[in-house]
Amino acid sequence: LMYKCIAQHKTIAGSYGDKLVAEGVVSTQEIEEFRKKFRAELDKAHAAVSAYKPMKADWFEGCWKGLRYVVPGCFDDYMSDTGVAGERLLALMEAMCSIPEGISLDKKVSRMLNARLNGVKSDSIDWGAGEALAFASLLAENK
């Protein structure tokens, strides 16, 4: 019902065109010519887009040659064991949290390091500790 009422209204372009004609800014013929030119430009752009052929995907060439596209919903082929043993993570965190002799830490930094170490011991680490452990594990593997 409301859509019928809205459909009976003139378009904004039509209303504005009528206003310009009433004010003597343009003639009805000029508006019609403008509409035809604009429509022709739209049709030309549509034809160009319809004829567009995307370039060949080249991101799997060169040093990326061994990669392949992911098949949506199929992850078995792409999963790999990236885990690090808990004992190894604890050893890495202990190394990161050990403070050399002669160095005194700010109380807040000391609490943070203790919290990170205790988090690894209790299997409850925060995001920052996880990132630090990820980098540490890669460095330990010389990667």
Tell me: the pLDDT tens digits for 99-137? Answer: 999 999 999 999 999 999 999 999 899 999 999 999 999
The answer as to whether 95 is a domain residue is: yes
Residue 76 has pLDDT above 80, yes or no: no
Who's near 89: CB < 8 A, 6+ residues apart?
Answer: 120, 133, 137
The answer as to whether 121 is a domain residue is: yes
- The DSSP string of 75-103 is -TTT-------HHHHHHHHHHHH---TT-
Q: What does the pLDDT read at residue 78?
A: 66
Q: Which of 35-39, 65-69, 90-94, 98-102 has the lowest mean pLDDT?
A: 65-69
**Which residues constitute the domain of residue 45?**
2-51
CB atoms inside a 10 Å sphere around CB 46:
10
Q: Which residue has the higher pLDDT, 43 or 79?
A: 43
Query: For residue range 10-54, what is the model confidence (pLDDT) as tens digits?
Result: 999 999 999 999 999 999 999 999 999 999 999 999 999 999 887
Task: Give how many domains the chain has, as a whole number.
Answer: 2
90 and 46 inside one domain: no
Residue 58 has pLDDT above 80, yes or no: no
Q: What does the pLDDT read at residue 38?
A: 96
The answer as to whether 120 is a domain residue is: yes
The answer as to whether 101 is a domain residue is: yes
Q: Which residue has the higher pLDDT, 56 or 115?
A: 115
The answer as to whether 73 is a domain residue is: no
The answer as to whether 78 is a domain residue is: no
Who's near 119: CB < 8 A, 6+ residues apart?
Answer: 125, 126, 129
Q: Which helix (H) or strand (E) holds 36?
A: helix 28-51
The answer as to whether 111 is a domain residue is: yes
Q: What does the pLDDT read at residue 43?
A: 97
91 and 135 inside one domain: yes
Is the overall model pTM greater than 0.85, yes or no? Answer: no
The answer as to whether 107 is a domain residue is: yes
